[in-house]
Amino acid sequence: MLDTKHLLTPSDFPQISRGRLHTLQVNLGYLCNLSCTHCHVNAGPRRTELMDRATVDLVIDYARQQGIGCVDLTGGAPEMNPHFRYLVQALRAQNIQVIDRCNLTILLEPGFESLGQFLAEQGVHIVASLPCYEPKNVAEQRGKGVYEQSVEALQMLNGFGYGKGEALKLDLVYNPNGAFLPPPQAALQADYKRALGDKYGIQFDELLTITNMPISRFGSVLQSKGEFGNYLSLLKESFSEHNLDNVMCKGLISIDWQGHVYDCDFNQMLEMPMRRNMADTIATDQSRLHLSELVGRNIEGDPIVVAEHCYGCTAGQGSSCGGALG
């Protein structure tokens, strides 16, 4: 179990506030067909937390009422939520962009064989995890055979028209497999395109490099190896003030499987809810802010809850769910 006291103590991270809300990042549950070492959600096949239909409907209504431009679906494997297709269809009917944070292997699981075609028909933007273009590193992070399955799934998606610079966008995600920052995104993207294209004929749009956060499963791995403190120091020493302008929490809110609201996905995993009515203290677990309480409320200008892990988003070239910031 990760001891989070290093992260939740008072931090000298700069205070920041919200801009205009344009994206909802919705965690549909922690159920997943994989158990990756870098997963900050601790997702896996034995997790039972799944967003119910009533909360899904609330997300749909809130997105419509607030004029949200994008809903970013994550998990676990978000596709394993029984209401996933209903949610996607409802959002796309309102012309809201949908991002599916896909682990690729789910497309090959029994019962999900038609999922790739469904995503293509709905025009869903797929952001797929592939932490390396070589099998060994992927196996270390995600399990034996995952690389081969991922290649098969990517080839299938290419067959549906994904990743070819047209309407169906396919991005890949790189996460480091250790306690270090991602390399420069543009150079690594070129390496990925060359390696996957030459060997497998795979095409994709962009590579997104994302810094591993020292929380949940990855944080526990760091602690077990005695690397937690050094990694946190690396993040702080690599802080770039320029990245503060573009951190994802300024235009995004994170919604958990029960409908509670956080400034970002990482705060969600640390159980650090959004502040309520500009209060000076963080809401307790008993009074977490719920999405239903945000209906009709303008949150632009509200303070964002920060802690030590926020240095992960501002270190080096910066990191967000959309890749490097700088």
**Residue pLDDT, tens place only, 199-219:** 999 999 999 988 888 887 777
What is the predicted pLDDT for the residue at 283? 46
- Look up residue 17 and give its two tokens: 């506030």
CB atoms within 10 A of CB 12: 9
**Residue 171, SS3?**
strand
Pseudo-torsion of CA 7, 8, 12, 18, nearest 10°?
100
More confident residue, 34 or 116: 116
DSSP for 26-57 reads: EE-BSB-S---TT-SS--BTT---B--HHHHH
Task: Determine whether 188 is exposed, middle or buried from the number of CB atoms within 10 Å of its CB (0-12, 13-18, 19+).
Answer: middle
What is the predicted pLDDT for the residue at 278? 46
What span, in angstroms and rounded, lies between the C-alpha atoms of 13 and 307?
7
- Look up residue 116 and give its two tokens: 């790739």
Parallel, antiparallel, or unpaired for β 23-27 and 261-262?
A: unpaired
* Residues 150, 138 contacting (CB under 8 angstroms): yes
Domain ranges of the chain: 5-314
More confident residue, 316 or 128: 128
What is the predicted pLDDT for the residue at 221? 80
What is the predicted pLDDT for the residue at 284? 47
Average pLDDT, the chain: 88
What span, in angstroms and rounded, lies between the C-alpha atoms of 166 and 177?
31
What span, in angstroms and rounded, lies between the C-alpha atoms of 179 and 174?
14
Closest CA to 66 of 99, 28, 94: 94
* Residues 298, 222 contacting (CB under 8 angstroms): no
pLDDT digits (tens, 9 = 90+) for 272-301: 888 865 444 444 444 789 999 999 889 999
Sequence length of the chain is 326
Q: In the chain, what percentage of residues exceed pLDDT 70?
A: 90
**Residue 103, SS3?**
coil
CATH (one of 3.90.580.10, 3.90.660.10, 3.20.20.70, 1.10.3720.10) for 5-314: 3.20.20.70
Q: Decide if pLDDT at 181 tops 70.
A: yes
* Residues 319, 325 contacting (CB under 8 angstroms): yes
Across 271-281, b (16+ Cβ under 10 Å) vs e yields ebbbbeeeeee
